[in-house]
Structure 1
Amino acid sequence: MLSRRQAILTSGAFFALAACGRGEEGAKTLRVGSQKGGTKALMLASGALEGVPYAIEWSDFPAAQNLLEALASDAVDVGLVGDAPFQFAFQSGSPARVVAAMKSDSRGAGALAVVVNGHSRAHSIRDLVGKRVATTRGSIGHYLVLRALAAARLPADAVKITWLTPSDSKAALQTGAIDAWSTWVPYTAAALAEGARIAVDGRDFSQGVGFDVASAGAIRDKRAILADFLAREARALDWSNDHVDDYARILAGETGLPLPIAEATVKLNSRRRTPIDAGLVASQQVILDTFREAGEFKASRALKEAFVPLA
């Protein structure tokens, strides 16, 4: 069971539309998990859900780890997460599987980064040796720290990783309780706007891949509506890349982000559907190797077992 801090923040937004068809796919509800600044805003802004023939129940999460816990316990059906947190969860025993993938078009600085206060002298991972770096365990931020350390030929314990939620990390960085924060959009965009600076640029270490991950129950019982939702999401992604201003306005309204931060988030997080092929699967090996060599898990599950493509 999720703790109160990790509990699902149910939005209460339902698309209670008439179901069509007969049999097990009739009158279904698809429970969709959305990270802050994620799927919900995208689908609402694009209008991709117009005429959807099933109900959608939204649940909001602060980070991928919380969403992945909900997927593992069958509390939600599908949600979008980064490749690194999914692989961490999968190798830790999660029954959830990847059903679709997307890749970032943007190569702008700040989509993923280790940020420091503006007055910090740190300009690289080497400058953070012995320092306190906050992130969420198993997150893309965690992966970034480990990859940056490995690239610099430093051991995984060369920095003092502090496990904090995004909101707690933000406060700790502002007060000086930590020296750096390894995080992702929209948190990076907000931190940079408030005076933080990039010490480690994630563009050097991330492949920019995101996964739609579904619970075992949803893959078994809701394949048709999952496939329909994923097709609508692909269209929404294409729409968002051509309507940046419209998307940013909806994102700001849904998340409470200031409009300039929402605009920066959209520009840094431009994505399109990408096929789950042999190349993409093979590219995930570096993530497993990074976590395994840092002692986070043994990586005993085969990569190909993580994927059940529906889109």
Structure 2
Amino acid sequence: MRLRSLTLLAAAAVFGIAAVSAYAGEPLRIGYQKSSTLATLLKSQGTLEKALAPQGVTVSWHEFASGLPMLEALNLGNVDVSADVADTVPLFAQAAGAQLAYFAQESASPDAQAVVVHEDSAIQRLADLKGKKIAVTKAAGSHYLLLAALKKGGLTIDDVSPAYLTPADGRAAFENGKVDAWVTWEPFLTSVQQQLPVRTLDEARGLAQYKRYYLTSTQYANSHGDVLKVVFNELQKVGRWAKANPADAAKVLGPLWGNLPPATVEAANAHRTYDVQPVTLDQLGEQQAIADAFVSAKLLPKPVDAKAVATWQP
């Protein structure tokens, strides 16, 4: 692909004909979640399609319930890039043999996760979670927060009964009293805090940084750098726009997030940085700590070297 594209461009220069994009006619398939705020805004605004049009690249959007199945689709070649996933998710994908490349990250947003219980619950401290049923999404950032919170309370994952549920199912189980606690992230966190009588048992600050990463395959990173550069630039732009225009962003996102009130969306977004930056291997220290915690809890099948990945630089 790369050699062919250089040949076409050279011929165009010599004969004075219009340059042919190396990617003309290729689709860019993007996986995203409801909590993928910047991807959702890009999809709504159509700005990425416009930015990629000069290269002849079209865009298709594919929604997933959570990050782990999205990276499974990436590994299988069913999507080309994944919008943001929590820091835990790439580690599970690595353990499954995925060849990943990090191409962007949102800087840490620890206030965007928490452990919540019902307001009238007898659970007053983390140690009281012993023997309780806790809703959490497998491999999500909230999964690591659960491990860290249990450790802080002198417990391990073996001391509780985790219920591995999607965010929607976790909310339903919590609301119906089928679980004693729920570990979740934004916008689900602010939504339940504002709509139900709940207490925040513990927050992620001091326990988990909660970074979110954007990924692709190593093959795609090596062959489609120009496309990734456009995606990276548009993510940075829409991230700055979302922070500078919180009310406007809330009006767009509210209907897409289950008709959440604008005030709820604004409050949720205030807990996320939306600061998009490149990724370097020396920034993956907490990734290794997360991987080691999951191996220790026997939730990862084997040790993972968090730095055994590629990073694409803009």
Q: TM-score range by the shorter chain?
A: 0.7 to 0.9
More helix by share: 2
CA separation in 1, counterparts of 2:264 and 2:156?
35
Matched residue SS, 1:30: strand
State the secondary structure of the residue aligned to 1:204.
Answer: coil
Q: Is the 8 A contact 2:73 2:79 kept in 1?
A: yes
Q: Is the 8 A contact 2:134 2:179 kept in 1?
A: yes
Q: Which residue of 2 aligns with 1:163?
A: 164
Structure 2 letter corresponding to 1:28: E
Match of 1:93 in 2: 97
Residue in 2 aligned with 1:59? 62
Please list the CA deviations of residues 213-270 of structure 1 after superposition, one character each: whole Å capped at 9, or x if unmatched. 1134432443321221112111211221111111111111333332222222211222
CA–CA distance in structure 1, aligned partners of residues 201 and 124 of structure 2: 4
Q: Does 1:232 align with 2:234?
A: yes
**Kept in 2: contact 1:48–1:236 (CA 8 A):** no
Where 2:284 maps in the other structure, the secondary structure is: helix
Aligned-partner Cα distance in 2 for 1:154–1:95: 34
Alignment-derived partner of residue 202 in structure 1: 204
Q: Which has the larger displacement, 259-268 or 232-241?
A: 259-268
Matched residue SS, 1:271: coil
- Of the structure 1 ranges 27-36 and 89-98, higher mean CA displacement relative to structure 2 is found in 89-98
Q: Using the alignment, how far apart are the partners of 1:70 and 1:188 within structure 2?
A: 26
- Percent sequence identity is 27
* Cα offsets for 1:148-177 (capped at 9, x unmatched): 122333222111111112111111111111
**Aligned structure 1 segments of 4 or more residues deviating by more than 3 angstroms:** 44-48, 298-301
Map 1:1-311 onto structure 2 (within 5 A).
22=20, 24-38=22-36, 39-44=38-43, 48-49=47-48, 50-53=50-53, 54-79=57-82, 80-104=84-108, 108=111, 111-195=112-196, 196-258=198-260, 259-297=262-300, 299-311=302-314
| C-alpha deviation, 1:306, in angstroms | 1.9
Q: TM-score by structure 2 length? A: 0.84
Alpha-carbon distance in 2 for matches of 1:306, 1:216: 8
Letter in 2 for 1:43: L
Aligned 8 A contact 2:44 2:252 in 1: yes
Cα pair distance change 1:297/1:93, threshold 3 Å? same
**Deviation at 1:179?**
0.5
Runs of 5+ in structure 2 lacking a partner?
1-17
Q: What is the alpha-carbon distance in structure 2 between the residues aligned to residue 273 and residue 21 of structure 1?
A: 31
Query: How far does residue 48 in structure 1 lie from its aligned partner after superposition?
Result: 4.2
Q: Which runs of 5+ in 1 are unaligned?
A: 1-19
Tell whether the 8 Å contact from 1:46 to 1:236 is kept in structure 2 after alignment.
no
Matched-pair contact (CA < 8 Å) for 2:253–2:265? yes
**Counterpart code for 1:269:** R
Structure 1 counterpart of 2:163, one-letter code? T
State which structure, 1 or 2, has the greater radius of gyration over its C-alpha atoms: 2
Alpha-carbon distance in structure 2 between the residues aligned to 1:183 and 1:90:
23
State the TM-score, normalizing by the size of structure 1: 0.85
- In structure 2, the CA distance between the partners of 1:298 and 1:68, relative to structure 1 (3 Å rule), is same
- Tell me how many residue pairs correspond in the alignment: 289
- Superposed CA RMSD in Å reads 2.2
Q: Compute the displacement of 1:70 (Å).
A: 1.5
* 1:88/1:51 CA distance change after superposition, 3 Å: closer
SS at match of 2:300: coil
* Deviation readout 1:39-65 (Å, 9 max, x if unpaired): 332324666434432211111122112
Conserved 8 A contact 1:76-1:215? no
8 A Cα contact 1:46 1:239, kept in partner: no
Whether the 8 Å CA contact 2:27–2:59 is kept in 1: the answer is yes
